[in-house]
Amino acid sequence: MKATATANANIALVKYWGKRSSDPILPQNGSISMTCEGMATKTTVEFSEQYAEHTVTINDEEFKKDEKDIHGHIDRVCKLAGIKQHARVVSESNFPVAAGLASSASGFSALTMAACQAAGLKLSPRELSILTRQGSGSACRSVFGGFVEWHRGQRDDGSDSYAEEIVGKEYWPEFRMIATIVESKKKPVSSRGGMAQTVATCPYYKDWLATVDGDLKVMKEAIEERDFEKVGSVAEFNALKMHATMITTKPSIIYWIPATMEIIHAVRQMREEGIQAYFTMDAGPNVKVLCQEQDVKEISMRLAELEGVTNTILCKPGDGAKIVTEHLF
């Protein structure tokens, strides 16, 4: 009863921001993302009678009960599988966690897949996506590769809120995303807390919701047409709208730091010079730059010259979550 899975982070091009239900986790709006080869989590799960309780170690740090309730998600898998053993979980990510780089997406996707395999659960991709969503909403998109849509759904039980692949990673091999690292420490306000605060207090949140369906339609068409300019412009404006709702909550949530703005202005300057580059941001200070393979070298060089950029991670469309044979313990 032991298994290991890997999952890539995904970065939303049309953002998920706000829950209509916390139990089960259900989104206020649909979203579209790219699964990112280059930012991955590997997780080993073992169920055994020898364990008196669940233990979770992430990047060599032991996690007790936390806001994300990883222990509770393991219990969810146990209940589905009808097993009573406790689990040992060891997980490693090759990029900063809790810093606005979608670490919970890759983390919960890898955890769910490994736990289901170890517990002997046989789930379809859609069922796996629904189960993963109950641990972390955005993680349901990392179950799949390439470009992925998470459907909002209408039902209160969440049975119609799941992710599915729009196109696979091979469909647009020239697409690139450069994640800039300006701060790797844990962000002051978690995504989960920030969403709840925004939904509860932002006077403009209804306007965010009113525009998202339009963004989803245009984004999906742009991906299918491989229209980079359209993808980039919609993603950039969608991210700015999301951050506008955060800034106008009470109290305000402002993730940006000076280096964030430095990158934003640099990307806009590149566009003025004819380089196709766009930015997007999740709940954190780290900016992701969208570009095509032909421009990676020039854009990477310019980003490296910015004072606030400590590192960059180059990503391309990647695989969905999968079982691997090499365990972490």
What domains appear along the chain, each with residue ranges and CATH number?
2-169 (3.30.230.10), 175-317 (3.30.70.890)
How many other C-beta atoms are found inside a 10 Å radius of the C-beta of residue 216? 22
Buried residues in 179-205 as b, exposed as e (16+ CB within 10 A): bbbbbeeebebbbbebbebbbeebeeb
State both tokens at 115: 């736990």
**Has residue 292 got a pLDDT over 90?**
yes
Closest CA relative to residue 136, chosen from 93, 88, 83, 191: 191
Least confident interval from 53-62, 113-122, 213-222, 274-283? 53-62
The whole-number average pLDDT for the span 174-185 is 93
Cis, peptide link before residue 188, omega less than 30° from 0: no
DSSP label at residue 186: P
Mean pLDDT, the chain, whole residue set: 95
Percent of the chain at pLDDT exceeding 70: 98
The alpha carbon dihedral of 92, 93, 94, 99 has a sign of negative
Q: How does DSSP assign 191-207, residue by residue?
A: HHHHHHHHHHH-TTHHH
The pLDDT score that the predictor gives to residue 99 is: 61
Cα–Cα distance for residue pair 296/115, rounded to 1 Å: 37
SS3 260: helix
The model's pLDDT over 72-89, given as tens digits with 9 standing for 90+, comes to 999 999 999 999 999 999
The model's pLDDT over 90-117, given as tens digits with 9 standing for 90+, comes to 999 998 776 666 688 999 999 999 999 9
Provide the whole-model pTM: 0.95
**Has residue 67 got a pLDDT over 70?**
no
The model's pLDDT over 223-277, given as tens digits with 9 standing for 90+, comes to 999 999 999 999 999 999 999 999 999 999 999 999 999 999 999 999 999 999 9
118 in Cβ contact with 74 (< 8 Å): no
The pLDDT score that the predictor gives to residue 96 is: 75
The model's pLDDT over 142-176, given as tens digits with 9 standing for 90+, comes to 999 999 999 999 999 999 999 999 999 999 999 99
Least confident interval from 3-17, 99-113, 204-218? 99-113
